[in-house]
Amino acid sequence: MAEVIKITTPLTDDQVKKLHAGDSVLITGIIYTARDAAHKKLVDLLAEGKPLPVDLKGHLVYYVGPSPARPGKPIGSAGPTTSGRMNAYAPKLLAIGSKGMIGKGEMNAGVAEALKKNTSVYMVAVGGAAALIAKSIKQSKVVAYEELGAEAIAELTVVDFPAIVAQDCHGGNIYQEGIAKYGIKD
């Protein structure tokens, strides 16, 4: 693992191309939260040809359902949730210019294909490192679907949010490479 790469959102194609599976990154800027229910709403709007309540161009979507914020804190603990549940939705958001996702766990071949086609990136945050991640989140503002509670879309302002590139726009996949490298056959 090389040194840590710092990136700032919104991302450009050139920045995304420099990211490779296994790279450690620190993200600064705006990221948008969304999980199952919000994705369904966004994708339904796209199907109807309607505009989305947030402009995802160049931005990253973070799969998270935080714990409640204490008074005076922007957010509670905020680690990633399982990305595989968003396999069906992710390619549709990448197609309209979102530059990638942050979650945990491997995403499927359809997503891998969409990452290549749309020059975008899938990163993972450490599942269960939710208190540590929360410290990198400086502001949280609900921007859509307030009625969904913890599942509403929030705009997070982050500074040095820690993540690892899991699946890149070149077809790289750390899950497959990492396990092949460290697996021991009897």
Catalytic (active site) residue 20: no
Q: Counting beta carbons within 10 angstroms of the beta carbon of residue 71, is it exposed (0 to 12), middle (13 to 18) or buried (19 or more)?
A: exposed
Pattern of binders to other proteins over 54-83, x per CB under 8 A? Answer: ----------xxxxxxx--x--xxxx-xx-
- The minimum distance between CB 104 and ligand SF4, in angstroms, equals 7
Total interface residues for other proteins by CB under 8 A: 48
Q: Counting beta carbons within 10 angstroms of the beta carbon of residue 135, is it exposed (0 to 12), middle (13 to 18) or buried (19 or more)?
A: middle
- For 18, 49, 85, 104, 171, the CA distances from 64, given in Å and listed in that order, are 26, 26, 12, 10, 25
Are the C-beta atoms of 139 and 28 separated by less than 8 Å? no
Among other proteins, ligand SF4, none, the one that 177 touches (CB under a kind-dependent 5 to 8 A) is: other proteins
CA angle 85, 75, 60 (to 5 degrees): 45
Q: Which stretch binds other proteins (CB under 8 A): 27-35, 94-102, 130-138, 153-161?
A: 130-138
Structure tokens at 103: 């979650």
Q: Does 168 bind other proteins (CB under 8 A)?
A: no
Mind telling me the catalytic residues?
39
Q: Which residue ranges make up the site for other proteins (CB under 8 A)?
A: 1, 22, 24, 64-70, 73, 76-79, 81-82, 84, 104-106, 124, 126-132, 134-135, 149-150, 162, 164, 166, 174-175, 177-186
